[in-house]
Amino acid sequence: MTRLLRPLISGTTYTRLLHLWVPMLFVSVWMFIDQTKPWVPALVLLPLGLIPSVRLGEGVQAQLLLTPGEQGRQDASITVAPSATWRDRLRTVLWLEARMALGWVAGMATVWLPVLALVLAQLPFGHVPDDVPLLSEARPHWAYALFVPLPLIVLYGAVVGLGELITAIARRLLGPSAAERLTALEERTERLLERTRIARELHDSIGHALTVAVVQAGAARAAGDPAFTDRALGAIEDTGRAALEDLERVLSVLRESERPVSGRPTLAEADRLLESARASGAKVDAEVTGPLASVPGPVSREGYRILQESLTNVLRHAGAVPVRVRIAVEDQALSLEVRNPLTADISGPGAGSGLRGIRERAALLGGEARTGPDEGDWQVHVQLPMR
């Protein structure tokens, strides 16, 4: 019983009812103008819904009145954005018509059901209404008092049910379109990837620097040797400087993460990476097959980062050696391979944070990465699914 009556004390029930009443204000004004054409307000909504900004306004109203969040949180299932496509415009038109139709039902229910309850309460006392159908010819009887709660129960069910129905329709017609869902997915993917990258950088660089500093300080205190203490302090200073440089690098990642997704580099700009590697002395042999422009945004951006990390590892660990880069765009996957020769005096890139980052980026997109020696070369081979 408590659960059944809970909507009575919920503010959302009454804000939803207010949302249903709003269209009836315009209908009421029109009825004062011309009662013979009550369909005109619904006809006006057809061109009105095609205006892009109308979807924005309806989304704001729906979030404020249909799904009022706590502490300023918004319901992501209802979009607050102008119409971007004709499909969005048509969905807005349907929403406006549905809102007006349900508003008409809610208006009739909230006016006539209380009136009906009042009439039923007056009938036992001899008051017979003249303007209420079915009851205008009723005879006074005490039994009519038993039916007084019935219209109020129907009113309660109508208010709660219509509120739930209009909210469900709002989520359906004012919810994010396919393009908006894709953009939101890209944003979430980018945030997750950047968070993982920042955590990895902090763990590998800052964590290591702090560990070294703590160990050196403890050893200097225990030794009691001024010369050893000087050397320990020098090591702590050097480690601190390196940590500051790493921290600045991590902060640059944070600043970059605030850029919009569309502003970050993709594989279409891979030539810039290749030219940078050539300017550093590496002999880069690059081959690109397939249209890079057809690669989805998240895949193209992460492919760029993987290529960047691979070339950086080559320059850092192997030096100015020949590098072979192969990028292939296929129907189902993006293939990226970076190879450089291994010699007796040059080892391949180690299993540090760079290679872990490549593997993590590939895994987050559902792909796979193979790194390690292969037929005298050091190889980084990554497969990323296109969908």
Q: Read off the pLDDT band of 205 (50, 70, 90).
A: low
Distances in Å between the alpha carbon of 309 and those of 80, 119, 201, 264? 38, 80, 13, 16
Domains of the chain, earliest start first: 1-176 (no CATH), 185-258 (1.20.5), 267-385 (3.30.565.10)
Rounded CA separation 327/114 (Å): 72
Residue 291 has pLDDT above 90, yes or no: no
| pLDDT at residue 28, as a whole number | 85
Pairing of strands 368-374, 333-341: unpaired
Work out the pLDDT band at 71, boundaries 50, 70, 90. Answer: very low
For 176-193, what is each residue's pLDDT tens digit? Answer: 877 777 777 777 777 777
- For 196: left if phi > 0, alpha if psi spans -120 to 50, otherwise beta; the answer is alpha
Q: Is the pLDDT of residue 263 over 60?
A: no
Q: Determine the pLDDT at residue 110.
A: 92
Percent of residues in the chain assigned helix, strand, coil, to nearest 5 = 65, 10, 20
φ, ψ dihedrals at 180, nearest 5°: -70, -35
Is the pLDDT confidence value at 350 over 70?
Answer: no
**Distant-in-sequence, close-in-space partners of 384: CB < 8 Å, separation ≥ 6:** 299, 302, 303, 333, 334, 336, 362, 365, 366, 367
Angle at 87 between CA 82 and CA 90, to 5 degrees: 85
Q: Note if the pTM is more than 0.75.
A: no
> Whole-number mean pLDDT of the chain?
80
| Residue 204 confidence (pLDDT) | 56
SS3 at position 134: coil
| CB atoms closer than 10 angstroms to residue 332 | 8
pLDDT of residue 253: 58
Tell which wins on pLDDT, 111 or 361.
111
